[in-house]
Amino acid sequence: MNFMEKLTAAMRRNNSLVCVGLDPALNKLPAVLQGRPDAIYEFNCRLVDATKDYVCAYKPQAAYYAGQDCDEALKASIAYIKENAPDVPVILDVKRGDIGSTAEWYAKEAFDRYGADAVTVNPYMGYDAVQPFLDYADKGVIILCRTSNPHSGDLQNLVADGKPLYVHVAELVRDKWNGNKNAALVIGATYPEELRELRQLCPDLPFLVPGVGAQGGDVEKVVKYGCSADGLGIIVNSSRGIIYASKGEDYAEAAGAAAKELRDQINSYR
């Protein structure tokens, strides 16, 4: 099963558009895990156990593992998901982009070394920076379009030929880069009007939507503006709101409850 099929199947099976961002910072982990050499791995495993029936995807953010020198915990966590929640795809959030011969190595990193089902990539360098990822036809390639951060408009809102840069990206992906039908877009929940515009422009592309929860995105607007005609089409990521729902010993249980609550909130607007 390729990424897109696996994603859709998970959405239907768990009746969920929720993606949990596995972004563990050692200094924010529950006290019960502090000091354990396997703290990050253990944290992720327990989060997966508690949330796997309420989500359509997991999204580990590579920076947390790279910055804390714990690549092995990332690799082991993805392996754990594949073993214990095999129906839930893993999106490795790396936002890579480089010249073709180099991007091939980054594709190997994401898909071969870590075993991810999908990856996020940056379009600034153009087609040949993205194509080595797209060539993995059974993997998903989720391209930054309109990102959730406050200054995302610095470049993305510049208007060329009457259209902002992020629309150019969306149209390139829709019309030229998606020959393998494995592309999707990143569109921040913090820009709901753009989400609506992009859904109209790209009725069939899946959107990864970060920015609800800590970043302040409005869930109702995300669902109403972002869903495709079949009521699917958006992968709504929440990280801190789920993984740090409790800092106590009940952190996993609380994360499960938070994931279920977000799922139900989203579904109430579908």
Q: Which is nearer to a copy of itself, 126 or 231 (CB)?
A: 126
CB 119 within 8 A of CB 89: no
Q: Report d(CA 93, CA 70) in Å as an integer.
A: 15
Distances from the Cα of 152 to the Cαs of 73, 210, 239, in angstroms? 30, 13, 20
Stretch in the footprint of a copy of itself (CB under 8 A) among 37-45, 50-58, 124-132, 219-227: 124-132
Among 137, 159, 231, 270, which residue interacts with a copy of itself (rule: CB under 8 A)? Answer: 159
CB of 185 to a copy of itself, least distance (A): 13
CA 166 to chain centre: 18
Within residues 238-257, the interface with a copy of itself by CB under 8 A covers none
Q: For residues 99 and 60, give the distance between their C-alpha atoms in angstroms, rounded to a whole number.
A: 24
Q: Does 149 bind a copy of itself (CB under 8 A)?
A: yes
Is 28 one of the catalytic residues? no
| Of 7, 29, 90, 169, the one binding a copy of itself by CB under 8 A | 169
Q: Which one of the listed residues 82, 95, 221, 247 is annotated catalytic?
A: 95
- Residue 175 binding a copy of itself, by CB under 8 A: no
Pick the binder of a copy of itself from 137, 158, 181, 248 (CB under 8 A).
Answer: 158
- Which residue in the set 18, 23, 141, 244 belongs to the binding site for a copy of itself (CB under 8 A)? 23
Helix extents (H) in 1-99: 3-13, 39-51, 62-67, 71-84
> Residue 18: phi, psi to the nearest 5?
-90, 135
Residue 232 sits in the site that holds a copy of itself (CB under 8 A): no
Residues contacting 223, CB < 8 A, separation 6+: 17, 234, 236, 266, 269, 270
Pair of tokens at residue 152? 């995302």
Structure tokens at 135: 């060539």
CA nearest neighbour of 143 among 191, 192, 198: 198
By beta-carbon proximity to a copy of itself, the closer residue of 43 and 54 is 43
When asked if residue 98 is in the footprint of a copy of itself (CB under 8 A), the reply is yes
Which positions from 44 to 63 touch a copy of itself by CB under 8 A, shown as an x/- string? Answer: -----------------x-x
Q: Is 129 in the site for a copy of itself (CB under 8 A)?
A: yes
Contact 146, 225 (CB under 8 A): no
Q: In the complex, which residues of this chain contact a copy of itself (CB under 8 A)?
A: 23, 61, 63-64, 66-69, 71, 95-100, 102-109, 112-113, 122-129, 144, 147-156, 158-161, 165, 168-169, 172, 215
Residues designated catalytic: 95
